[in-house]
């Protein structure tokens, strides 16, 4: 039987369990129906004397043999947990006859959770049987676990040399060509290194699991974001294939989190990564700022240093989104004045309140060779009487903009290039509404307006009307306003999905085998959830969980998972019996491997990574065992203790999230440094300290491919 057949069989068995149509339950139900007597045909509650078959297999009643009936039916009790060797025990199985075409991805693990507990589709890569009998799901992310660790006779004393550390340009260039690369590998205890042998006691297979990413643009998406973002369910209207363009996202379904616009101002690093020309206020010291010279024809706003843009709280109105700043939305139209040169021909500026304070046509200094009318809306007749020059516009802008000004636009680097002006405080809608393919790609303004404003703009695109710069500036301003109303997390998902904790709480399905009489035939009643993580998880995607447990060590995480699964003894915070779904992360192996970015934290930061484990005494002759081996063994033992603490019928998933990201991160940093220097005025090509050409670009693609390769394990306790 292949996986699909097994899945169908499992689904049928699951439906059988859900409907209570086994022979035993059927006879019980028939006996109840035959003996049921209501005191009044119109009554909503009555009593009956149970027959000898009533409640067969259930716990005994404590009501002196009487049972309350509501709506003409007896209240059914929670079914007993099936025995491990029974025919209705839930399973997640891989069939050797299943034909996989690729490695499973992190999103497939999320889909498995949604299938078991909510509204997800059945997975194609495993067969699930008796789905209604799953009581809990526990998922543990363990960055630092690698497939190479599970190879036969691995030597941890030489592991970093053989598998962990990879010099620049040495990432594998292998292309998947064999099913062995993406089929799960059976774990054999006698072939595993001693620290990893507990895995063979818990799991039958090790799965290759690939993280989401884009090798072409050189980035990998966060495995945490991927796993904790459930795809939105589509309505009939959304499934209408005749409707073109993106589907409108109703912002009313997302709670308001009013956020100051200053939270969206680009940092100097992002500023330079997005091809903005350097403003002298961003230079590190006063001497460099004084020595700064603009490129020919360019000007910079009168801002001496970045600190000048900070407005004292005493001057900020309570609850103000603008935080005391003057916000200006800008859009420009350009015409072609050279082979690859574009010049400003129209500039429109709209204030925060919607007032248009500037809408000017500009005559370029050079002859126009292409008016680009289908895009700009500019014609020769419009510009013939114009005498305003770029220099005139620049002088007016220098009087208008100061350290309290924030400029808003879409792909604003193009507009500022046309104006030949730099300003350090900008909010770019192409940045704060990120593209799922990574920062190298940008959404168009027309697309964003359709999706988030339900508005059609740029209707003149490709015609003699062209674009309207006032309309575009207002559209961009409205996008930023809505972003400020909804908060940073709004419209930032990889596919504008729903938080997994929120989805389970909203759409989680329950059966009588799981939740007793409150669950009816697999209807959505919601699942309780918990997140257990280092630092302050409440400020992350984990904040949507019903219970959030903050930790400072893997020992805290272990204790938190057990607490979430079992509940508090007094039920003070977590109800007795625990929650339905637990997500957790162990991080000490990640730190030991050097994968945790220490540059983001200081040494005394309580939320920062722990120090790498020092070597400790071994068992063979009292020798010294490498710290990595100690940490791997401690992590495996911790997972085993968590597994042992789980109740029956619990799905247990462990995955690494990714492979070694260090080479990818190093190359990404090199690319960012190259961009910064390349876009710094006055720096010649020969003076750029970091080389970046096709060789480095190909090396980054290989490094991303390597970083995406993780592993995972699945079991049912």
Domains of the chain (ranges; CATH) run 23-87 (no CATH), 104-230+503-663+703-716 (3.40.720), 253-281+322-486 (3.30.420.10)
Output phi, psi for 713, to 5 deg.
Answer: -140, 140
Tokens of 589: 């192996």
Q: Which residues contact 458 (CB under 8 A, 6 or more apart)?
A: 445, 446, 467, 468, 471, 472
Residue 331, SS3 per DSSP: strand
Angle (deg, nearest 10), helices 106-117 and 500-507: 20
User: In what helix (H) or strand (E) does residue 360 lie, and over which residues does it extend?
Assistant: strand 356-361
Residues 616, 625: Cα–Cα separation, whole Å:
6
Measured at the CA of 543, the angle between CA 537 and CA 544, to 5 degrees, comes to 150
Decide if 446 contacts 411 (C-beta within 8 A). no
Q: Tell me if 117 sits within 8 A of 581, measured CB to CB.
A: yes
Q: Look over the chain and give the mean of its residue pLDDT values, rounded to a whole number.
A: 79
Instruction: Report how far residue 656's alpha carbon sits from residue 162's, in angstroms, rounded to the nearest whole number.
Output: 19
According to the model, what pLDDT value does residue 499 have?
85
Q: How far apart (Å, rounded) are the C-alpha atoms in residues 608 and 614?
A: 18
Q: Which residue has the tokens 């209604």?
A: 132
Taking alpha carbons only, the member of 394, 399, 430 closest to residue 414 is 430
- Residue 162, CA distances (Å) to 149, 154, 165, 392, 656 in order: 11, 10, 7, 64, 19
What letter does residue 488 receive in the DSSP assignment?
T
The distance of Cα 177 from the centroid of its chain, to the nearest Å, equals 30
Per the CB < 8 A criterion, the answer to whether 528 and 548 are in contact is no
CA–CA distance, 28 with 76 (Å, rounded to integer): 11
> DSSP letters of 620-689?
STT-EEPHHHHHHHHHHHHHHHHHHHSPTTEEEEEE--SS--HHHHHHHHHHHHHHHHHTSTT--GGG-S
On whether the CB atoms of residues 540 and 557 are closer than 8 A, the answer is no
pLDDT of residue 245: 62
Q: What H or E segment, with its residue span, contains residue 470?
A: helix 469-486
Q: CA-CA distance, 652 to 94, in Å (whole number)? A: 15
Q: Which long-range contacts (CB under 8 A, 24 or more apart) does 65-71 make?
A: 69/36, 69/38, 69/45, 70/44, 70/45, 71/44
Q: How far apart are the first and last CA of the chain?
A: 24
* 290-346 pLDDT tens trace: 889 898 999 999 999 999 999 999 999 988 999 999 999 999 999 999 877 889 999
Dihedral sign from CA coordinates of 393, 399, 403, 407:
negative
CA trace torsion 138, 141, 144, 146 (10° rounding): 60
Task: Please give the pLDDT value at position 524.
Answer: 58
**pTM (predicted TM-score):** 0.62
pLDDT lower than 70: segments of the chain: 1-80, 96-97, 160-179, 234-253, 437-438, 440, 460-466, 493-496, 510-524, 597-626, 679-683
Query: Closest Cα to residue 393, out of 412, 356, 420?
Result: 420
SS3 letters across 34-51:
HHCCCCCCCCCEEEECCC
Looking up tokens 């409907």 gives 19
Judge whether 595 and 141 are in contact, CB under 8 Å.
no
């Amino acid at each position: 039987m292949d996986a699909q057949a097994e899945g169908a069989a499992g689904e049928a068995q699951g439906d059988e369990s859900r409907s209570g149509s086994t022979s035993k339950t059927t006879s019980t139900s028939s006996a109840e129906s035959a003996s049921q007597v209501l005191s009044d045909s119109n009554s909503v509650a009555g009593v009956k004397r149970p027959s000898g078959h009533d409640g067969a297999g259930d716990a005994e009643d404590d009501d002196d043999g009487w049972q309350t009936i509501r709506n003409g039916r007896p209240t059914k009790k929670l079914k007993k947990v099936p025995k491990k060797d029974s025919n209705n025990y839930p399973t997640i199985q891989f069939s050797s006859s299943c034909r996989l075409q690729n490695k499973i991805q992190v999103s497939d693990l999320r889909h498995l959770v949604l299938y078991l507990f909510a509204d997800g589709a059945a997975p194609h890569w495993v067969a699930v049987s008796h789905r209604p009998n799953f009581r809990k799901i526990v998922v543990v992310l363990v960055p630092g676990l690698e497939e190479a660790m599970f190879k036969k006779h691995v030597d941890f004393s030489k592991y970093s040399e053989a598998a962990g550390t990879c010099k620049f340009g040495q990432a594998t260039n292998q292309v998947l060509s064999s099913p062995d690369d993406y089929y799960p590998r059976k774990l054999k205890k006698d072939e595993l290194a001693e620290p990893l042998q507990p895995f063979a006691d818990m799991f039958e297979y090790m799965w290759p699991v690939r993280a989401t990413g884009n090798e072409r643009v050189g980035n990998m998406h966060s495995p945490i974001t991927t796993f904790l973002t459930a795809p939105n369910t589509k309505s009939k209207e959304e499934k209408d294939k005749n409707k073109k363009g993106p589907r409108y996202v109703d912002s009313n379904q997302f709670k308001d989190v009013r956020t100051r616009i200053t939270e969206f101002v680009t940092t100097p690093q992002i500023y330079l990564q997005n091809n903005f020309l350097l403003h002298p206020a961003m230079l590190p010291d006063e001497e460099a700022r004084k020595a700064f010279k603009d490129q020919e024809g360019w000007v910079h706003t009168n801002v001496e240093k970045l600190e000048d843009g900070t407005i004292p709280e005493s001057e900020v109105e309570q609850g103000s989104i603008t935080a005391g700043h003057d916000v200006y939305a800008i859009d420009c139209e350009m015409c072609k004045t050279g082979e690859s040169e574009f010049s400003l021909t129209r500039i429109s500026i709209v204030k925060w309140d919607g007032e248009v304070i500037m809408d000017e046509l500009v005559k370029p200094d050079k002859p126009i060779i292409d008016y680009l009318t289908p895009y700009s809306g500019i014609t020769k007749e419009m510009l013939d009487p114009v005498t305003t020059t770029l220099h005139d516009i620049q002088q007016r802008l220098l009087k208008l903009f100061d350290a309290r000004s924030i400029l808003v636009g879409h792909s604003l680097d193009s507009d500022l290039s046309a104006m030949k002006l730099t300003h350090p405080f900008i909010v770019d809608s192409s940045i704060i509404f990120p593209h799922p393919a990574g920062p190298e790609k940008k959404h168009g303004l027309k697309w964003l307006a359709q999706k988030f404003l339900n508005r059609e703009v740029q209707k003149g695109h490709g015609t003699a009307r062209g674009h309207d710069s006032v309309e575009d500036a207002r559209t961009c301003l409205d996008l930023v306003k809505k972003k400020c109303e909804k908060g940073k997390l709004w419209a930032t998902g990889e596919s504008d999905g729903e938080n997994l904790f929120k989805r389970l709480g909203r759409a989680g399905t329950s059966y009588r085998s799981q939740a007793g009489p409150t669950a009816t035939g697999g209807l959505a009643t919601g699942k309780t959830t918990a997140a257990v993580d280092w630092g302050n998880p409440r400020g992350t995607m984990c904040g949507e969980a019903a219970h959030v447990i903050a930790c400072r060590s893997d020992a805290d995480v272990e204790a938190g998972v057990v607490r979430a699964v079992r509940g508090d003894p007094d039920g003070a915070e977590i109800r007795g019996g625990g929650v339905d779904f637990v997500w957790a992360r162990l991080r000490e192996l990640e730190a030991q491997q050097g994968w945790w970015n220490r540059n983001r934290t200081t040494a005394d930061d309580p939320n920062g990574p722990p120090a790498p484990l020092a070597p400790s005494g071994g068992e063979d002759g009292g020798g010294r065992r490498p710290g990595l081996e100690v940490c791997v063994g401690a992590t495996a033992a911790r997972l085993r203790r968590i597994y042992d603490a789980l109740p029956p019928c619990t799905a247990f998933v462990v995955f690494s999230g990714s492979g070694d990201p260090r080479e990818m991160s190093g190359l990404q940093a090199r690319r960012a440094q190259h961009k910064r220097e390349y876009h710094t005025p006055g720096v010649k090509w020969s003076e750029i300290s970091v080389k970046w050409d096709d060789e480095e670009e190909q090396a980054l693609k290989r490094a991303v491919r390597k970083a995406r390769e993780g592993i995972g394990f699945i079991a049912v306790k």
